[in-house]
Amino acid sequence: MTRLRLGVLISGRGSNLQALIEATADPTYPAEIVQVISNRPDAAGLTRAEAAGLPSLIVDHTAFPDRPAFDREMTQALEEASVELVCLAGFMRLLSDEFVDHWRDRMINIHPSLLPAFKGLEVQERVLARGARFAGCTVHYVRKEMDTGPIIAQAAVPVRADDTADSLAARILEQEHRIYPLAVRLIAEGRVSIDAGDRARIADWPTVPGVLLNPPEA
C-alpha cells in the first residue's frame, strides 16, 4: 500500500499532531507523517514528534525578514521530504498568499468551530456570548481568507448551561482528535474531490441518522 506523505505544521502542544501520530501508527492507515515543522523552538509538539521517531525541524519565523521568506523556507523543507499533504495542527502563523497558492488543495486545517460560523480566535468565548446551542470543529482545505475553504469533516457538541469557554473547548478538542485523522483518511483514500463551486465532495458518504436538538424536547 502506498501511503500519503504528510507534513504537519505546529506551534504549540501538538495534541492534534498526537492524534495523527496515533492514527498513522496503524500500518493499515493510508497515510504517514514524513515531516513535522514548528515555527517555535519551545513547542511541546516537538517532544511528541521525537518520541514517535518522526523527522522534525524548527523553522523559527523570527529569523526571517518577512512572511514570504519564512514560507519559502517551509515549502523547501516540505518538498525535500516529498510531502503530499500539509496538515496545519495548531500552527499559529498567518500564511502568505504564495504559500497558500502553492499548496492549494494539498493543505488542510482544523478549526474549533462549526465553520463558516465563528472564524478567528477566542472562539468559545464568542459561542457562549452569542448563546449558541451547538459548537464543534471543522477540518477544511486552506484558502487565502482565514478559516475558509472547502469543508471536509465536522463534529458538533451541545453547549451546556454550565459551560465555560475552557470546558467547552476541552470537549471540542476530543472531537478534533477524531475528525482530523478521519479527514486525512478520506483524502488518502481518494474519496475527496473539489468541485467547480469550490466545495468538497466525498465519495460514498453515508447518511447521518437522526436530528440533534438542544435543548431537547420535554
- At the top level of CATH, which class does the domain 1-103 belong to? alpha beta
pLDDT in tens, 117-136: 999 999 999 999 999 999 99
pLDDT of residue 208: 85
pLDDT in tens, 100-115: 999 999 999 999 999 9
Strand order in the sheet with 31-38: 56-58, 31-38, 4-10, 85-88, 107-111, 134-141, 151-158
pLDDT of residue 198: 96
What are the residue boundaries of the structural domains of the chain, listed by start?
A: 1-103, 109-203
Q: Over 90: is that where the pLDDT of 1 sits?
A: no
Catalytically active residues, by annotation: 111
Q: Over 90: is that where the pLDDT of 80 sits?
A: yes
Q: Are strands 56-58 and 31-38 parallel, antiparallel or unpaired?
A: parallel
Region class of 57: left (phi > 0), else alpha (psi between -120 and 50), else beta: beta
Is this model's pTM higher than 0.85 or not? yes
pLDDT of residue 218: 76
pLDDT in tens, 180-213: 999 999 999 999 999 999 999 999 998 888 899 9
The position carrying cell 478521519 is 182
Options 2.30.110.10, 1.10.730.10, 2.40.30.10, 3.40.50.170; CATH of 109-203? 3.40.50.170
Domain 1-103 shares a fold with domain 109-203: yes
pLDDT of residue 169: 98
